[in-house]
């Protein structure tokens, strides 16, 4: 289990932006002292699940790589979520997963009563259509279906991520308390147990 935790820490250190990088972002400079608040960067039982939910929602719904982290940080300021966790969660939507999210969003939007023709999407993809043809398709009938579908999918992922991280947080803290009790009874340090 310690290997998994160290793998998560390594992934976060490598891929998530540092506190200084987020604070020095030109988009977040106007929020200066508010984004620097230490409560937005602490890992607590309330801020971590909020950060997970915010990062998943913004990451899936916004789908613009540069603005996802900025959007997640701004929403974290309002909802008191952990900015680092939210920034890391936006990476769920990456170039490998984006096509799946977009196709699922159009399908969900169609099921909710909107109309976006998926056969046109396949034709555009197979013929390597120009950007202008893609934009014309998107603006004609796919936009309402896609936006609605992305909002629904993002909300579902955010809800699931919130509850999974809340349960995971409680499990992790409970495990640490058990290790402390065992260490106190046995007279060994907690670091020797892990």
Better-scored residue on pLDDT, 152 or 184: 152
133-174 pLDDT, tens digit each: 878 877 777 788 888 999 999 999 999 999 999 999 889 888
Residue 33: its pLDDT value, please? Answer: 59
Smallest CA-to-CA distance from 146 within 94, 103, 91 is with 103
What is the chain's percent helix, strand, coil content, to nearest 5? 80, 0, 20
DSSP state of 95: T
The token pair that represents 173 in the structure block:
């803290």
Percent of the chain with pLDDT over 70: 76
* Residues in Cβ contact with 180 at an 8 Å cutoff, skipping those fewer than 6 apart: 190
User: Model-level pTM?
Assistant: 0.72
Say yes or no to pLDDT of 27 above 80. no
Residue 80: its pLDDT value, please? Answer: 86
User: What's the average model confidence in pLDDT over 25-54?
Assistant: 76
Mean pLDDT computed over every residue of the chain: 81
Better-scored residue on pLDDT, 24 or 108: 108
Residue 154: its pLDDT value, please? Answer: 96
**Helix 98-111 crosses helix 118-126 at what angle (to 10 degrees)?**
150
Say yes or no to pLDDT of 92 above 70. yes
* Residues in Cβ contact with 85 at an 8 Å cutoff, skipping those fewer than 6 apart: 43, 47, 48, 51, 52, 55
Residue 50: its pLDDT value, please? Answer: 93
């Amino acid at each position: 289990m310690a290997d998994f935790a160290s793998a998560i820490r390594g992934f976060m250190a490598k891929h998530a932006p540092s506190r200084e990088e987020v604070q020095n972002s030109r988009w977040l400079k106007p929020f200066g002292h508010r984004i620097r608040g230490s409560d937005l960067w602490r890992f607590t039982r309330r801020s971590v699940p909020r950060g997970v939910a915010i990062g998943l929602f913004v990451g899936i719904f916004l789908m613009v790589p540069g603005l996802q982290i900025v959007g997640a940080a701004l929403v974290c300021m309002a909802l008191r979520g952990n900015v680092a966790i939210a920034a890391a969660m936006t990476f769920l939507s990456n170039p490998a997963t984006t096509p799946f999210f977009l196709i699922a969003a159009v399908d969900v939007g169609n099921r909710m009563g909107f109309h976006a023709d998926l056969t046109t999407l396949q034709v555009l993809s197979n013929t390597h259509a120009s950007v202008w043809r893609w934009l014309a398709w998107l603006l004609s009938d796919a936009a309402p279906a896609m936006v609605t579908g992305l909002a629904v999918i993002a909300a579902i992922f955010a809800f699931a991520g919130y509850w999974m991280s809340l349960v995971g947080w409680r499990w992790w803290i409970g495990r640490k308390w058990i290790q402390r009790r065992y260490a106190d009874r046995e007279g060994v340090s907690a670091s020797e147990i892990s």
